[in-house]
Amino acid sequence: MRFVVILLLAPTIACNDSVMTVEGFDKSCEEASDCSEVWTGDVCDCDCFRDAINSSGAAGYYTQWNAIAQECDHMLDCTPCEFGEVDCQDGVCVAID
């Protein structure tokens, strides 16, 4: 007797499609208060790489982050990422230690 198993899976994103970067987001600033901290890396794999973008784009960045997280085919039980500080250095938002 043979059994055929058919799995119907909801659409998921490929690993490389779950990586967030600041590419395409405004990093310009005049002072540190113009900047917001964001997380970069693989959304599905608990990456906590810190970066900074102009605050005007932060809501859009995290909207995109959350959309990716909802499509992950796996989500690890991640500890929360630690926040640090941001600064404006030479007109560019940066995350600092």
Instruction: Answer whether residue 2 is part of any domain.
Output: no
Per-residue model confidence as pLDDT tens digits over 20-64: 999 999 999 999 999 999 999 998 887 889 999 999 999 999 999
Asked whether residue 6 carries a pLDDT value surpassing 80, the answer given is: no
Number of domains composing the chain? 1
Instruction: Answer whether residue 84 is part of any domain.
Output: yes
- pLDDT score for 32: 98
**Regarding predicted confidence, which is higher, 71 or 86?**
86
CA distance 39 to 21: 8
- pLDDT score for 76: 66
Q: Yes or no: say if 28 and 57 are a contact pair by the CB < 8 Å rule.
A: no
- pLDDT score for 16: 55
Instruction: Answer whether residue 13 is part of any domain.
Output: no
| Structural domain for 84, as ranges | 21-96
Instruction: Answer whether residue 41 is part of any domain.
Output: yes
Burial class (CB in 10 A: 0-12, 13-18, 19+), 79: exposed
Q: Yes or no: say if 35 and 86 are a contact pair by the CB < 8 Å rule.
A: yes
